[in-house]
Amino acid sequence: MGVLERKEREKQEMRELILQTATCMFLEEGYEKTSLRNIAEKIEYSPATIYLYFKDKKELFYAIHERAFENFFVHMSSAEKIINPMQRLRRMGELYIEFAFQNPELYDLMFIMRAPMEAIKESRAEWGHGPRSFELLRTTIINCMEAKLMKPMDIDVAALSIFSFIHGFTSMTIRDRLIMYPKESLRPLLEKSLDNMIDLMKA
Amino acid sequence: MGVLERKEREKQEMRELILQTATCMFLEEGYEKTSLRNIAEKIEYSPATIYLYFKDKKELFYAIHERAFENFFVHMSSAEKIINPMQRLRRMGELYIEFAFQNPELYDLMFIMRAPMEAIKESRAEWGHGPRSFELLRTTIINCMEAKLMKPMDIDVAALSIFSFIHGFTSMTIRDRLIMYPKESLRPLLEKSLDNMIDLMKA
DNA sequence: AATTTTAATAAACATTGTTCATTTTAGCAA
DNA sequence: TTGCTAAAATGAACAATGTTTATTAAAATT
């Protein structure tokens, strides 16, 4: 019964082709310009074919979102080997900033755009990826407190404060809301502010 | 020469009618559903007529954005009467949170959506409103430092830290990225986190 | 009353996401 | 090889979008 297996594999390969093509176009041209027609044209298939592999455009972009979060999680996990939780926290901030500034479009899709979250809502699925990465931060903060390296405070308050701060800065950079500062100064300013914030939280 | 004046006034009134109608529809139905055709239908004019008063859809929404910022600025300015700069800072945070949670769609347009900033870019104008409100925060922080109520640190770092933090939290709430927390818990959590952050910055 | 200037529109264009009836292709049995 | 079935792919259509342009209606001026 090798036929069914091959068919399944081919189905996956086709899905992958669509996904890769859509991702490329999204990174180069943005969400609006990545129309189903343009994707279909590039892979030399009819637009309707895409609907055999993805329910609609939102689900296609949820798939891209999902994959981006997997890479993000791996990226962030590389800090886990750092034993000192305070140093690990700082490193996680650095990794986060790195990811955001190197992949602004993906970051936008992951943390700002509506489309992928609406796809989740419509499919009644739950969003595992966001909370999973957030747990990395939360755990590190617990470790900091346990080691008495961080002032005692509510864990959710501490985690949300740091996360909100970095995301706020990053998203305003991506969405052009910090134009009162020169573009090149933003990342250094973010790093400096992160250092400052972590310092304030030190025991 | 009363004719020209009347014409000018009528022109303004028409502009205002479009603006008001668009604002209402935007608040009730969101950006996508507020199409130029739907606006035109509601005011009983042809879609093309709107183009006699606004260059395109982006400029129309920039006008809404602009007006929202004016209201926002007035709203925030009500804290200026508080003499103690640290108390004023806390009050400004409260006012900000109030505005964001009472007008999530307008907040989205002001601080998240791309359209209005692209309108500015295309018209080679500059964005006065964001920086103007930011100056309120910046000044208050300077006052805090001068009164030695706040730990000495770089002013831009301090201002951007607080602003980024509140915006990060708010925008993730609006764009459904904090679904690991119950919806009703988010605003209290934000207030608590803001208190905590300001406490950390106290001298 | 005739002319000029302004305002408004109808119709068209180029897109978009999405659906569905139809056709093509592939796999299998006689 | 020939027929049959099931799956895959498509062409054409639908409804909606933002936007432009040539044409018509209205108003103001002479």
Nucleotide in closest CA–C1' contact with A48: D10
Class of domain A57-201: mainly alpha
Alpha carbon B121 to chain centroid distance?
Answer: 18
Region A139-153: mean pLDDT is 98
Q: Kindly determine whether the C-beta of residue A30 is less than 7 Å away from any atom of nucleic acid strand C.
A: no
User: What CATH code would you report for B56-201?
Assistant: 1.10.357.10
Q: A156–B196: do the CB atoms touch at under 8 Å?
A: no
Which residues in A80-116 are b (16+ Cβ under 10 Å) and which e? eeeeebbebbbbbbebbbebbeebbbbbbbbbbbbbb
Asked whether the beta carbons of residue B179 and residue A130 sit closer than 8 angstroms, the reply is yes
To 10 degrees, the CA torsion angle through B29, B33, B34, B37?
Answer: -140
Sort out which chain A residues have CB atoms less than 8 A from B157's CB and list them.
189, 192-193, 196
Of A161, A171, A180, the CB nearest to B197: A161
Task: Give the Cα separation of B56 and A132 in Å (integer).
Answer: 42
Chain B residues 13 to 52 whose Cβ lies within 7 Å of strand D are 33-38, 47-48, 51
Please check whether residue A197 touches B, CB under 8 A. Answer: yes
Amino acid at the residue A110: M
**Phi and psi at residue B71, to the nearest 5°:** -60, -40
**CB proximity A57–strand C (7 Å threshold):** yes
Q: CA B9 → C1' C3, Å?
A: 26
pLDDT digits (tens, 9 = 90+) for B89-116: 999 999 999 999 999 999 999 999 999 9
Instruction: Kindly tell me if the per-residue pLDDT of A78 is higher than 60.
Output: yes
Distance B119 CA to D22 C1' (A): 28
Give the per-residue pLDDT at A3: 65
Rounded to whole angstroms, the distance from the CA of residue A24 to the C1' of nucleotide C26 is 31
Q: What is the pLDDT of residue A1?
A: 52
Q: Do B104 and B174 contact (CB within 8 A), yes or no?
A: yes
CB–CB of A36/A47 below 8 Å?
A: yes
Q: Check if the beta carbon of residue A117 is closer than 8 Å to that of residue A53.
A: no
DSSP SS3 for B51: coil
Residue appearing with tokens 């455009």: A57
Q: Which CATH class name applies to A1-54?
A: mainly alpha
Distance in Å, alpha carbon of A86 to nearest chain B alpha carbon: 17
Sequence ranges of the domains in chain A: 1-54, 57-201
Chain A 154-173, residues with CB within 8 Å of chain B CB atoms: 154, 156-158, 160-161, 163-169, 171-172
Q: Sort out which chain B residues have CB atoms less than 8 A from A105's CB and list them.
A: none
How far apart are alpha carbons A192 and A56 in whole angstroms? 42
Residues forming a β-bridge with A150: A202
Residue for token pair 């800072």 = B89
- Supply A155's token pair: 């864990």
Farthest CA pair distance, chain A: 65
Q: Taking residues A175-191, report their average pLDDT.
A: 98
pLDDT tens string A89-145: 999 999 999 999 999 999 999 999 999 999 999 999 898 889 999 999 999 999 999
Answer for B57: CB within 7 Å of strand D: yes
How far is residue A185's CA from residue A190's CA, in Å, rounded to a whole number?
A: 9
Chain A residues 44-103 with CB within 8 Å of chain B: none
Contact at 8 Å (CB) between A159 and A138?
Answer: yes
* Total residue count of chain B as it appears in this document: 203
3-state DSSP percent of chain B in helix, strand and coil, to 5: 75, 0, 25
Confidence class of residue A6 from pLDDT cuts 50, 70 and 90?
A: confident
In angstroms, the CA of A48 and the C1' of C14 are apart by 20
Enumerate helices (H) and strands (E) in chain B, giving the number of each. 10, 0
Q: How confident is the model at residue B7 (pLDDT cuts 50, 70, 90)?
A: confident
Q: Give the pLDDT confidence of B139-173 residue by residue, as tens digits.
A: 999 999 999 999 999 999 999 999 999 999 999 99
